[in-house]
Structure 1
Amino acid sequence: MRMLLRTHLDATNGSEAIKSGALQKVIGAFMEKFKPEAVYFTVENGNRSGLYVFDLKESRQMPELGEPFFDLGCKVTLTPCMTPEDLRAGWAAAGL
């Protein structure tokens, strides 16, 4: 299932994680393992934030992808998402 992973890291923890190389390592490992189709970095609510769109094959993968970010002090959200084609197919299946 296509998912949107959002990670948010405050300035203090983020600076420490960048200086130590821990953040780069966690992001690199996530990208190598889950091969996201899109990745964006931004600032949300004063936090360093990452947005990753990727395919979650099984729900049991949630701890595997989340724990490394949690270890850095990140707030993590995971939300199913759709492409426009998925939405059209969903509407058709719903009879809309």
Structure 2
Amino acid sequence: MRFLLKVNIPVEAGNTAAKAGTLGATIQSILADLKPEAAYFTDNNGQRAGFIVFEMQDAAEIPAIAEPWFLAFNASIELHPVMIPADLANAGPAIEQAVNSYGR
């Protein structure tokens, strides 16, 4: 299943890593292990942030995904299942059933 991982790196932890010259290398190392479909970096709530799309097959994978960010940057994360347009199209019958059951 495809997930969106939102990572917020606190300013102080990010600055410490940047000054030590390890910010980029650490992020690249974490991403190399995660093997994301896509990764985008920006700001969020005044902090360095990443929005990363990846595949996860089992909830038991969550610690391996989250802990590197926690340990390296004291980051906060959010995990959200996401769909591509084809997934949404496949969900059409379930949406229609929900409308018929609850939307009237």
Amino acid at match of 1:90: A
Residue in 1 aligned with 2:90?
89
Once structures 1 and 2 are overlaid, which stretch shifts more, 31-40 or 20-29?
Answer: 20-29
More helix by share: 2
Q: Which runs of 5+ in 1 are unaligned?
A: none
Residue in 1 aligned with 2:14?
14
Tell me how far apart the structure 2 counterparts of residues 43 and 95 of structure 1 sit (CA, whole Å): 34
Shift of 1:29: 2.5
Query: How has the CA–CA distance of structure 1 residues 95 and 8 changed in structure 2, closer, same or farther, with 3 Å as cutoff?
Result: closer
Residue in 2 aligned with 1:27?
27
Shift of 1:23: 3.3
RMSD: 1.6
Please tell me whether Structure 1 or Structure 2 has the larger radius of gyration of its CA atoms: 2
Residue in 2 aligned with 1:62?
62
Q: Deviations over 1:6-34 (max 9, x none)?
A: 10012111111223344334422332222
Runs of at least 4 residues off by over 4 Å: none
Tell me how far apart the structure 2 counterparts of residues 64 and 95 of structure 1 sit (CA, whole Å): 33
Q: Sequence identity of aligned pairs in percent? A: 36
